[in-house]
Structure 1
Amino acid sequence: MPEKALAGAQVVELSERDLPHNIDAEKSVLGALLVDCEAAQGVFSILGPDDFYSDRHKRIFDAASHLHSTHQSLDQILLSEEIKNRGEAESTGGIDYLDELEDFMPAAGNAEYYAKIIKDKAILRGLHETCASIVSQIYESSQSAKEQQDAAESALFNLGETAAARADFSPIKDDVMLVLDNLDKESDLGFKTGYTDLDDLLIGLMPSQFVIIAGRPSMGKTSFCLNVIRNIAEGLGGEASAKKVGIFSLEVSRLDLVTNLLCISAGVDSQRVRGKKLSPEDHGKITEAAGRLYQKKIFIDDTPGLTVLQLRSKVRRLHRKEKLDLIVIDYLQLMEGTSNESRQQEISAISRGLKGIARELKVPVIAISQLSRKVEDRESKRPRLADLRESGAIEQDADLVLMLHRPEYYLEGGSEQKEKVKNDATVLLLKNRNGPTGDVSLHFIKHLLRFQNRSWRNDGDDYAPSEEAPELAEATSQTADKG
C-alpha cells in the first residue's frame, strides 16, 4: 500500500474508534436538572452543551441552559416547551425522553460528580481530535517539520488553556484552612537570594511569582542573577536543601555561562580564566568550585530566539522530570513573538506568557529585562519603572521589579569620584506586589563578577569577604575606609 494511503488508513482507524464518553453520566445530569434543578445547578458552571457526547443530550442541555440563564424555572413541562419552540422535539425524543431521564436519575446531590465525569470525557475527546489533526497534518501539510512542531505545540497548549479557563471555583473555607496551616511553616516563606537586606524586603522568592530584574547594559544584570542562582542552587541562603534551577540563556552560550558561574563560585578573576593565565592557587580554586557545581541541579538551555510556546514546552518537560524550584530567562527582549503585531504587543504577550508559566508550575520565574535609553538622556541616571523597555505590560504583570544601578558606569574614567564608587551597586526594589519597596546597597567586585552584602548578619555568609577570595576583603576594607 502506498505510504500516503497507509497514513490515511491510520488516521481513519484513529478517528473511527469509540470516542471517550459516558452516556449514563449524561442521563444522570439531565435527570437531576429535571427533578431538582436547585440542587443540581452547579453543573452549569462545569459543563457546556458541547461537553455532551450525545447530540440529543447537547440539545436538551442547551435548552436547559437557556432557561437557567434567563432566570426561568426549570422543570419537565417548561423544558419540553422550550425544545418544541426550537423545533427539536423530534430530534431529542420530546416529552417521552424527558420522562425517561427523570426515571433514570440516581440522586440530584450527585449531579456535580457526574458532571465532572462528563467534563473529563469531553477533554479526552478534544485531545483525541487535536492529536488526530496533528497526525493528519504530518502527512498532508507542506510545512516544514519545525513549523508543524510549533503548530502541534500551539494546538495542545490552546487545548490546555481552554480547560484551565473553565477551572472550578474553590470554596474559601479550603483556602482559609490552607493559609492557617501555612502560618507555622517556615518553608513557605520562600527561599532566600543570599542578600540579607534584600531578603528582609522580599521575605523570599515565592511560588508563582513573576520577577523582573532590569538594568541598562553593563550594570551586571546577568552577573547578579548568576550570584542569586549560585546561592540558591548551593543552598547558601540558609535553605535546608539546595534548589533546582532551570536557566534559559538567549544571549550567552552555555559554556560562557558556566565559566562565569565557576568564577563567581571560586572568587577568581574572570579575565584570568578566559585568558588561561591561572596561577596554581587559582587553578585549585576553580577545580574546587567545579566539584561543587558538578553536583548541583542547574539545567541550562541556550537555544536562541525562543517563543513562549517553545519555552513553555521545554520547561514543562524539565519540570515533570526534575521538579524545578526556580526558572530564569536571560533575557526577555530576546524572545520571539508569534504574530505580526507590533513589537510592543509581542513583548506584552511574552510577559503574560512568562507569568502564566510561573502560575501554572507554581515556581518563581525570573526574567532579565533591558531598560530603554531614556535613562541615559536624564540628568539622574537612577532607573524608574517607566524605563522598562518596549512595554508597560511588563511592569503590570510582574510581582517584583528589581533594577540594578551602578553610578561608576556614568562617571568619567580616572576621576576621584569614580574610584570612590567603583564597588558601589544598588538594587532598587521598585515594585513588590505583597510587601515594601526600597533600595539595597551591595558591593560589586567587577573582575570577580561578584555581588556581596554590605552588612553581614549571617554567620558563615559566603558573600562576605573570606580567605577564599582575599580580593573581596581588600575591596570591602577600601569601602569601609570611606566611612
Structure 2
Amino acid sequence: MNGLIPPNSVDFEKLVIGTCLIDQRGLKEVFRVIGDNQEVFYNPKHREIYRSMYFLASKNDPVDMMTVIRQLKKTGELNNAGGDQYIIDLTMGVSSSAHIEYHVRVIWEKYILRKVIEMADFMKLRAFDDKTDVFSVLDYTEKQVTQINSYLSGQKPIKSFFDVHQEFIEYVKSETIPGVPIPFKKLQEENQGWQNSDLIIIAARPAMGKTALALKLAKHAAKNDFPIHFFSLEMANIQLHKRLVADELEISSNRIRKKTFTENDIQKVYSNADFEHLPFYYDDSIFVWEEIKARARQVHEEKKTKMIIIDYLQLITTKQKFSTIDRVTFVSRELKMLAKELNIPVIALSQLSREVEKRPGKKPQLSDLRESGAIEQDADIIIFPYRPEYYGIETWPDEDEELSTKDQAMLITAKNRHCGDSEVIIGWKPEYQRFHDLEETNFEYRKNEYTATAEEAFGKPDDLPF
C-alpha cells in the first residue's frame, strides 16, 4: 500500500470490545451488525477477543471479562489477545452501551474502506494480466461493488412475525400498483403488474407475435414512467422502433416499410412529442451474456431501469464453451439471478420447438420449450402467445359454441409461481403489429381458481379492519 496505513479506528474498537464485555445489550447490537466477521476489527488483539466472545455466545455461555479470558487461555490465544491485563483495561472507562451503535458503525465503515482497497488492488492485478478477459474483469468489478454496497448497511436485523404482518397490512391498504403495469386488464388483475426479481418467459413459434407482445409490454411500462431496457439480439433498433411507431401512432406497418406515407401519417410523426421522450432504451449491439449483464447493470445504475426485456434467449452466446442445452441452462439461471440482483422484472423471449405444429390445434404447452427443463425451472411466469388464425384455424378449439379466431390471440399463462395458470383472449391488429384488450366476449378469460381482490375480501381501504 505504498507505506500508507490502512483505514482503521483502534480507539473505537477498544470502546466496542470493552462495552461488549460489560453490557449484554451492547453485545447484542454489535453481534447484529458484525455477526461472526471478526475481520471488521483492524487490531489483531481485538479480532482474537471478538472471536472468543462470539464463540461463547454461540454456545449460550455468558460473555464477560472473566469468561473471555478463560476461553482465550483454553485456546492458547491469550497472549495474542494482549494478555489478561489488556482485556481488563478495555473495560475501564466504559459506563454503558448508550452510543454503541455509533461506535460499531465507525469501525464497520473503516472495514469497508479496507475492503475497497483490497478489491481495487486485486482488480488492478487482473487488469494488468494480458490473459484476463476484459468482460470477466468488468463482471468481477460489478460484483465487488454490489458486495460493498451490501456491506454499507451491515447485517439487517431479523424481523418478528408482528413486524412483517404490519408491512403486510400496509401492503393491503395501499392503493398503488406494486409492480410494473401490464397493458392487458386480466393479466394486470391477476399479477398486479410484473413483480420485482421475477423472470418472465414469453415463448412461441415464429410469427406468433413474441416481439410485438414484448414491445407492447415495454411501451406500456415506459408510458407509465417505468424506464425500460430492451435488448434486441434479432432485430435492429430502427426495426423495433418502426413497430412501436406503427402501434402507437396507428400507421400501417406496410406503409412504414414501403415509405408510402400519407400526409396524415407524417403529421402524426412530427406532432407526437410525448412519444419521443419515453424512457425506453434500445440495445442491439451485444450478444454475449457477460457483456449483456455488464451493460444491464450499467444502464440500471444510470437510467434507473425498472424492467429488462431480452429478445431472445436462444441467441445469447457466452464466453465459456457450452453445448446448446448447457448454454441455455446457464443463461436461464443467469437471467433469474440478474432479476434478483437488480430487483426488477426481467422478461426473456424464447423459441418453442416444432412439436407444437405436429399437434392438432397447434396449442403450445410447457414441454414445447426448447431445452425446457432449465427454463421451466428458473422462470416465475411462462406465457405463450397463440394465434390459431395463423394456422388456418377459424374457431377456438375445445369450446361448446363456435367463436371466431379472426384478429384474435390467446395469452396462455402456463406457469405462474404467484397464482394459477390462465388463458386470456386479446385482440390482434396485423396492420399495426398490435395486441390489444378486447371488449367483453363470450370467451375472454379462464383461470384455474378464483382469487378475491383485497377490496372484495375486506372492503375499500377506509373500511379495512386493521
TM-score (norm 1): 0.78
Partner residue of 1:198 out of 187, 190, 201:
187
Q: Counterparts in 2 of 1:149-228, with a 5 A limit?
A: 149-158=135-144, 160-161=146-147, 164=150, 167-172=155-160, 173-228=162-217
Change (3 A) 1:109 1:371: farther
Aligned with 1:268: secondary structure? coil
Partner residue of 1:148 out of 134, 139, 145:
134
Partner residue of 1:60 out of 49, 62, 87:
49
Partner residue of 2:7 out of 14, 20, 26:
20
Indicate conservation of the 8 Å contact 2:18/2:91, yes or no: yes
Change (3 A) 1:195 1:92: same
Q: Which residue of 2 aligns with 1:333?
A: 314
Structure 1 residue 433 corresponds to structure 2 residue 421: no
Indicate conservation of the 8 Å contact 2:366/2:372, yes or no: no
Structure 1 residue 293 corresponds to structure 2 residue 275: yes
**Runs of 5+ unmatched residues, structure 1:** 1-11, 236-241, 458-483
Provide the C-alpha distance between the structure 1 equivalents of 2:4 and 2:131, rounded to a whole number of angstroms: 28
Provide the C-alpha distance between the structure 1 equivalents of 2:102 and 2:276, rounded to a whole number of angstroms: 49
Deviation at 1:426, TM superposition (A): 0.6
Provide the C-alpha distance between the structure 2 equivalents of 1:72 and 1:341, rounded to a whole number of angstroms: 52
Indicate conservation of the 8 Å contact 1:191/1:205, yes or no: yes
Deviation at 1:99, TM superposition (A): 0.6
Q: Which residue of 2 aligns with 1:480?
A: none
Deviation at 1:392, TM superposition (A): 3.3
Provide the C-alpha distance between the structure 1 equivalents of 2:4 and 2:163, rounded to a whole number of angstroms: 40
Structure 1 residue 91 corresponds to structure 2 residue 80: yes
Deviation digits for residues 262-291 of structure 1, max 9, x if unmatched?
A: 1211223323322223343444444455x4
Provide the C-alpha distance between the structure 1 equivalents of 2:334 and 2:15, rounded to a whole number of angstroms: 39
Q: Which residue of 2 aligns with 1:41?
A: 28
Provide the C-alpha distance between the structure 2 equivalents of 1:311 and 1:23, rounded to a whole number of angstroms: 43
Partner residue of 2:439 out of 427, 441, 455:
455
TM-score (norm 2): 0.80
Deviation at 1:226, TM superposition (A): 0.8
Q: Cα RMSD over matched residues?
A: 3.3
Q: Counterparts in 2 of 1:74-113, with a 5 A limit?
A: 74-103=63-92, 105=94, 107-108=96-97, 110-113=99-102
Structure 1 residue 305 corresponds to structure 2 residue 283: no
Q: Counterparts in 2 of 1:464-483, with a 5 A limit?
A: none
Aligned with 2:143: secondary structure? helix
Provide the C-alpha distance between the structure 1 equivalents of 2:103 and 2:364, rounded to a whole number of angstroms: 56
Provide the C-alpha distance between the structure 1 equivalents of 2:73 and 2:131, rounded to a whole number of angstroms: 48
Aligned with 1:402: secondary structure? strand
Greater helix fraction, Structure 1 or Structure 2:
1
Q: Which residue of 2 aligns with 1:252?
A: 235
Deviation at 1:256, TM superposition (A): 1.2
Change (3 A) 1:347 1:25: farther
Provide the C-alpha distance between the structure 2 equivalents of 1:349 and 1:164, rounded to a whole number of angstroms: 25
Indicate conservation of the 8 Å contact 2:388/2:396, yes or no: no
State which drifts further: 169-178 or 267-276.
169-178
Change (3 A) 1:310 1:187: farther
Structure 1 residue 266 corresponds to structure 2 residue 249: yes
Indicate conservation of the 8 Å contact 1:404/1:426, yes or no: yes
Aligned with 1:328: secondary structure? strand
Q: Residue type of the partner of 2:51?
A: D
Provide the C-alpha distance between the structure 2 equivalents of 1:455 and 1:357, rounded to a whole number of angstroms: 37
Q: Which residue of 2 aligns with 1:230?
A: 219
Deviation digits for residues 393-415 of structure 1, max 9, x if unmatched?
A: 43344333222112234449xx9
How many residue pairs are counted as aligned between the two chains? 431
Indicate conservation of the 8 Å contact 2:286/2:292, yes or no: no
Deviation at 1:441, TM superposition (A): 0.5
Aligned with 2:187: secondary structure? helix
Aligned with 1:392: secondary structure? helix
Provide the C-alpha distance between the structure 1 equivalents of 2:104 and 2:385, rounded to a whole number of angstroms: 52
Aligned with 1:299: secondary structure? strand
State which drifts further: 114-123 or 163-172.
163-172
Deviation at 1:57, TM superposition (A): 1.6
Q: Which residue of 1 aligns with 2:348?
A: 367
Provide the C-alpha distance between the structure 2 equivalents of 1:83 and 1:373, rounded to a whole number of angstroms: 69
Provide the C-alpha distance between the structure 2 equivalents of 1:301 and 1:66, rounded to a whole number of angstroms: 52
State which drifts further: 361-370 or 415-424.
415-424
Indicate conservation of the 8 Å contact 1:344/1:391, yes or no: no
Indicate conservation of the 8 Å contact 1:123/1:163, yes or no: no
Deviation at 1:164, TM superposition (A): 4.1
Q: Residue type of the partner of 1:148?
A: V
Q: Residue type of the partner of 1:90?
A: N
Q: Which residue of 2 aligns with 1:465?
A: none
Q: Which residue of 1 aligns with 2:303?
A: 322
Aligned with 1:65: secondary structure? helix
Indicate conservation of the 8 Å contact 1:196/1:456, yes or no: no
Change (3 A) 1:404 1:106: farther
Q: Residue type of the partner of 1:132?
A: D
Change (3 A) 1:167 1:210: farther
Change (3 A) 1:421 1:380: closer
Deviation digits for residues 326-345 of structure 1, max 9, x if unmatched?
A: 32222233333454566555
Indicate conservation of the 8 Å contact 2:309/2:348, yes or no: yes
Deviation at 1:374, TM superposition (A): 3.8
Provide the C-alpha distance between the structure 1 equivalents of 2:105 and 2:335, rounded to a whole number of angstroms: 30
